A = this chain, B = another copy of it.
């Protein structure tokens, strides 16, 4: 055969994404420390040395496995903002991209991941704050929105609290709506 079924470049790209996919899954399940290069290699059906050769280091692999998602609110009035924030619950409870889970999973034990989360949340807080009625506390209020949602997400996704997992996302959103509206009002 003079023509291979797959070009060398194609093979390379294929195994590279196979490694990255396995890494994302493992990192998001077990966190940075407990994920081993060897396990990633095995998941990708490849030799550990190849993972190093392609990504240079475990850290670098981790960095590539994470990808930020801005997910900034575009609303400008309060009601729309609350609706928009609550709409993200659909995603946060069940449909979060694995690259995000990677980041969240390790944020409490890996300083690099913590930094990443911190700047991401700061960006979100700025975005929410901008959509809030002007007040001295807009930024603080925004931070409470964002961290409250973070807490619910953690309870659902990582702690797997039954009470949360048994409730449909829109029921949760319905309960949260009045609370969020109250939090958005400058003089609650």
Tell me whether B182 and A178 are in contact (CB under 8 A).
Answer: yes
Chain A at the B interface: SS class: helix
Residues of B within 8 A of A117 (CB): 159
Tell me whether A148 and B152 are in contact (CB under 8 A).
Answer: yes
Residues of B within 8 A of A54 (CB): none
Segment with Cβ contacts to B, from A4-12, A15-23, A68-76, A139-147: A139-147
Known contacts A108-B108, A148-B152, A152-B147: does B183 contact A175 (CB below 8 Å)? Answer: yes
Tell me whether B33 and A158 are in contact (CB under 8 A).
Answer: no
Known contacts A179-B179, A188-B178: does B31 contact A34 (CB below 8 Å)? Answer: no
Query: Whole-angstrom distance between the alpha carbons of A108 and B155 in the complex?
Result: 10
Interface size class of A (residues with CB under 8 A): 35 or more
Known contacts A151-B150, A154-B150, A159-B117: does B106 contact A144 (CB below 8 Å)? Answer: no
Tell me whether A178 and B172 are in contact (CB under 8 A).
Answer: no
Quote the shortest CB–CB distance from A32 to chain B (angstroms).
8
Pick the contact of A144 from B162, B176, B188 — CB < 8 Å? Answer: B176
Pick the contact of A118 from B142, B159, B185 — CB < 8 Å? Answer: B159
17 A-B pairs, CB-CB below 8 angstroms? A33-B33, A34-B109, A105-B109, A106-B108, A107-B158, A108-B108, A118-B159, A121-B161, A125-B163, A140-B164, A143-B155, A144-B175, A151-B152, A178-B182, A178-B183, A178-B185, A181-B182
List residues of A whose CB falls within 8 A of some B CB. Answer: 30-31, 33-34, 104-109, 114, 117-118, 121-122, 125, 137, 139-144, 146-156, 158-164, 167, 171-172, 175-183, 185, 188
